[in-house]
Amino acid sequence: MRLVVKMKSNKLILPLNYKSIIQGVIYNMMNREKEGNFYHNYGYHKQEKIYKMFVFSDLYGQYKIENKKIIFSDVIKLYIGALDKELFKIIYEYLIQNDYLFINNQKVNIAGIDILNLPHFNGVKDIIIKTISPVVTYTCKDKYFTYYNPQAKEFENLVRANINHKMQAYNYPTKECIFKINEVIYKKKKLVHFKNTFYEAYKCELAISTNYESLKIIYDTGLSAKGSCGFGMIEYKNEKSILSI
């Protein structure tokens, strides 16, 4: 499941690359000595790879860009997904117990919360997914990064490997990982700066074949790498709201 956090602000001013700020807001919802320490410093391991098992979207709402800043006004939406039910509960309870958030030292009112659910299905299904934060897919050798766009065969292979590694790291019960790209409907490259690194990322819409277990990993943790940094969150057109507060 995932949360849609609806916020209101007359004027929220952020740098154009604000992902690390939003990540910090989410970590601040956790107890620093308990789950905050685990997710920030440890996470789930598959050999040398570490997965935090949560993902968040870009911010959505009315905005304008001035002096290399993005300025949001009125209603702003943020999507947060987590595979771990306990982490999901912690974030949810924090949000319902507080009337506002501080984003980049600015007070933003919490106007409402929706909980979205991924409908269960059996077997393999052909669906369309769309990124609501750009996806980044790469390999690294000798500190040199090679990035892949959604039309590259390596992209599909790396996404499938990422799903498998997350399943194994989390000990997720499933028989088979299924992810096949049938068509790249749309793609647009975007350079995204996160902390000290520029990433070559893509906004895209994909027609895929998948099973429920594989889609749930993508839905709750992000498509490919860096979900906990705000990359690769997707929406699935048949997801539905099961609760609004």
Alpha-carbon gap, residue 91 to 73, rounded angstroms: 24
What are 8's strand-pairing partners? 75, 109
**Residue 144 domain-assigned (yes or no):** yes
Longest Cα pair distance anywhere in the chain, in angstroms? 51
217-222: average pLDDT: 96
Task: Report the domain count for the chain.
Answer: 2
Same domain, 225 and 153: yes
Is residue 243 in some structural domain? no
For residue 245, being part of any structural domain is answered with: no
Tell me what pLDDT residue 240 has: 53
Residue 5: count other Cβ atoms within 10 Å of its Cβ.
24
Same-domain status, 146 and 106: no
| In-domain check, residue 175 | yes
Distance CA 185, CA 207 (A): 7
Q: Same structural domain for residues 68 and 157? A: no
Picking from 10, 37, 24, the residue whose alpha carbon sits closest to that of residue 102 is 24
Let me know if 27 is a catalytic residue: yes
Would residue 244 count as lying in a domain? no
Q: For 25-49, write each residue's pLDDT tens digit.
A: 999 999 877 776 888 778 787 777 8
Q: Which of 18, 27, 44, 60 is catalytic?
A: 27
- How far, in Å, CA of 177 to CA of 229, rounded? 24
Phi first, then psi, for residue 122 (nearest 5°) are -100, 150
pLDDT at 239: 58
% pLDDT > 70, the chain: 96
Distances (CA, A) of 59 to 12, 18, 122, 175: 11, 9, 33, 35
Q: For residue range 142-162, what is the model confidence (pLDDT) as tens digits?
A: 888 999 999 999 999 999 999
Determine the structural domain holding residue 137 and report its residue range: 124-238
End-to-end CA, the chain = 15
Q: Which of 18, 40, 60, 219 is catalytic?
A: 40
Q: How many CB atoms lie within 10 A of CB 147?
A: 16
Hunting for tokens 């919490």 — which residue is that?
110
